[in-house]
């Protein structure tokens, strides 16, 4: 087989937490994402040579998640190669859509294919988790969904233990992303240092019910399990109009609604694409009432993960 000189890969936006599943649940979206091109060059090491679509704000050095994930992929493969990366950002920064995870996942996928695909996808997730740890803490919900696609439950990060959950037929996810940036670090800083026992029990019950709903296809149960008693109340205060957006989504027919990842994007579960369109319009209108333009995304709740283009 002739060695590849260049590979381009894409990784999608993701929604993490999904209500009660803080750092535990993640889902891949269909639509926007990041693209990375990896090229073989003389010598060794990984170098990020260009980033487009970020307004010049992201680092062009070894602290970019794309670079870290690419280096981790080569290390896990036991390969010493010279690689140049070009990153095209298709996701806004600080949007709650897994922007840093998408960069890492696209880079890991591209580099793995470039060197002959020696690694399994779960090994790529591990490289992306290490990259995420540098910028936003060690968690795998966005990274796992970005690499693997679909709906993923993270039972453990160390050791990495991932479980793919079935997605009920027809389940649609709607995401409204306002023109507001909210860093993951800032969103984590407002989290409570201690959790009341009642809230812990409620979230544990809701995660268990969510998993049961996925396996049974019971959308009514899924709707009842969308509530988060711990993280969402703390973060909602950082997003203007958040409670109004929640109410608008539910009034328009959403099964459940919560914050996407660290925010400020808000997502809703819907029964169909048609219902999703109505809910998305209601969420955008609610954000507009507090002066925030927002973009809606409506897609099946079972998007594909990182892949070669």
Using CA atoms, how far apart are residues 244 and 208, in angstroms rounded to an integer? Answer: 28
Omega of the bond leading into 264 within 30 degrees of 0 (cis): yes
Rounded (5°) CA angle 94-102-136: 50
Q: Is 132 a catalytic residue?
A: yes
Catalytic residue among 8, 73, 184, 232: 184
DSSP assignments along 260-272, one per residue: -TTSS-EEEEESS
Both tokens of residue 300?
A: 């099946």
Using CA atoms, how far apart are residues 284 and 301, in angstroms rounded to an integer? Answer: 20
Place of tokens 């544990």: 204
Catalytic residue among 37, 65, 71, 132: 132
Positive or negative CA dihedral for 263, 49, 106, 155?
A: negative
* Cα atoms found within 13 Å of the Cα of residue 287, Cβ hemisphere only: 22
Q: Which residues contact 285 (CB under 8 A, 6 or more apart)?
A: 248
Using CA atoms, how far apart are residues 47 and 53, in angstroms rounded to an integer? Answer: 18
Q: CB burial class (10 A; 0-12, 13-18, 19+) of residue 276?
A: buried
How many CB atoms neighbour CB 184 within 10 A? 22
Both tokens of residue 96?
A: 């709650």
Q: Is 273 a catalytic residue?
A: no
3-state SS, one letter per residue, for 236-298: HCCCCCHHHHHHHHHHCCCCEEEECCCCCCEEEEECCHHHHHHHHHHHHHHHHHCCCCEEEEE
Omega of the bond leading into 181 within 30 degrees of 0 (cis): no
Active site positions, annotated: 132, 184
């Amino acid at each position: 087989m002739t060695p590849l000189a260049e590979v381009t890969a894409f990784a999608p936006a993701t929604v993490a937490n999904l209500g009660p599943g803080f750092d535990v649940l993640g889902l891949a979206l269909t639509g926007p994402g990041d693209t990375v091109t990896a090229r073989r060059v003389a010598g060794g090491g990984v170098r990020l040579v260009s980033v487009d679509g970020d307004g010049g704000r992201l680092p062009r050095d070894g602290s970019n998640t794309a670079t870290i994930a690419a280096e981790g992929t080569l290390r896990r493969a036991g390969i010493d190669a010279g690689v140049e990366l070009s990153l095209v950002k298709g996701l806004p920064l600080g949007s709650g859509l897994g922007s840093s995870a998408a960069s890492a996942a696209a880079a890991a996928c591209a580099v793995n294919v470039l060197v002959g695909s020696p690694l399994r996808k779960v090994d790529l997730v591990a490289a992306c988790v290490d990259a995420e740890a540098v910028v936003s803490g060690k968690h795998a919900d966005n990274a796992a969904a970005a690499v693997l696609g679909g709906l993923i439950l993270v039972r453990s990060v160390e050791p990495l233990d991932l479980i793919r959950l079935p997605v009920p037929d027809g389940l649609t996810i709607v995401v409204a992303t306002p023109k507001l940036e909210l860093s993951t670090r800032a969103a984590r800083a407002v989290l409570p240092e201690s959790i009341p026992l009642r809230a812990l029990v409620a979230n544990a019950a809701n995660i268990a019910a969510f998993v049961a709903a996925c396996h049974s296809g019971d959308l009514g149960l899924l709707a009842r399990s969308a509530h988060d008693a711990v993280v969402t109340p703390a973060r909602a205060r950082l997003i203007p109009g958040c409670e109004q957006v929640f109410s608008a989504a539910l009034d328009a027919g959403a099964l459940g609604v919560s914050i996407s990842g660290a925010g400020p994007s808000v997502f809703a579960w819907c029964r169909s694409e048609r219902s999703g369109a109505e809910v998305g319009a209601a969420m955008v209108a609610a954000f507009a009432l507090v002066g925030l333009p927002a973009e809606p995304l409506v897609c099946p709740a079972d998007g594909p993960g990182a892949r070669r283009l």
